[in-house]
Structure 1
Amino acid sequence: MSGATRIVAAARAMVGVPFRLHGRSDAGVDCVGLAVLALGRAGQGAMAPVAYGLRSGDVGLAERWLGAAGLVRVGEGAPGDLALVRPGPLQLHLMILVPGGFVHAHAGLRRVVEMPGVSPWPVVGWWRADGGRATIG
């Protein structure tokens, strides 16, 4: 099973987990926590930044975290990749691309969901695990 396939499976296994800001366990996750756990459970390893909130429009900072994590920016997303999206003017969000849609920690619904179709928000960039240890933050 490829790393991307393992990331997709790990993300889908988290559907239904409660939303919790800065959460990093099956008791609750936010979008960063979901990415950390999916990558970690897929054998990529992961840690996350702790100094962030729901409202942050700093794309450069998010991109530095993702790059420092060993994730590689790619031109187009493929299943298992992370999408950095902009749901609002001062908000960034991570989602995991899966066949047919995305898995993400939905703050409004208070749980991890699988959403069909294309992203409803502008995609700022696509990030792919390089097959090694990823450390977000």
Structure 2
Amino acid sequence: MRAFAAARRMAGARFRPQGSDPATGLDCVGLVWAAYTAAGCVLERPRGYPLRGWSRDWVEAGLGDAGFVPAAGKRREGDVALIAYPAGQLHLAILGSASFVHAHAGLRRVVETPLDAIGEAACWRLETR
């Protein structure tokens, strides 16, 4: 899907909390919205969210408000992964066939990572409009 290709082109952009522009920095939410925008999809982007401490319900509601639905079946390129890390931290990434792109806070940039490193993730797919 075009959103994954767009996200891949953003690899190397710096990490910035609540960042939504590849030129000035992205966080995981901003990356998803910037990639889908670059792919021609206009989405309602959540604002004022915390860097840490999101509730799963809040994240899922935000994805739903933007037009994403839980993906049934096999993961597909362009799906958005909702990753739950052990400490309760939630993270978003865009899936490719063999890798995923995400805004890595620790590395302070957007990176592409092999898909086998994603672990357990719930996948969301943009509903065809």
The CA deviation at 1:121 is 4.0
Counterparts of 2:5 and 2:95, CA distance in 1: 11
Quick one: percent identity of the two aligned structures? Answer: 43
What's the TM-score once normalised by structure 1's chain length?
Answer: 0.86
Cross-structure match for 1:21:
17
Any conservation in 2 of the 1:86–1:92 contact (CA below 8 Å)?
yes
Partner SS state of residue 85, structure 2: strand
1:11-50 correspondence to structure 2 within 5 Å = 11-26=7-22, 27-50=24-47
Task: Report 1 or 2 for greater relative contact order, CA contacts < 8 Å, sequence distance ≥ 6.
Answer: 1
Read off the aligned partner of 1:42 and give its amino acid letter: A
Counterparts of 1:131 and 1:17, CA distance in 2: 29
Moved over 3 A (4+): none
Any conservation in 1 of the 2:43–2:67 contact (CA below 8 Å)?
no
The CA deviation at 1:49 is 1.4
The CA deviation at 1:101 is 1.2
Structure 1 gap segments, 5+ residues each: 133-137
Alignment length, in residue pairs? 127
What's the TM-score once normalised by structure 2's chain length?
Answer: 0.90
Q: CA RMSD in A?
A: 1.4
Structure 2 gap segments, 5+ residues each: none
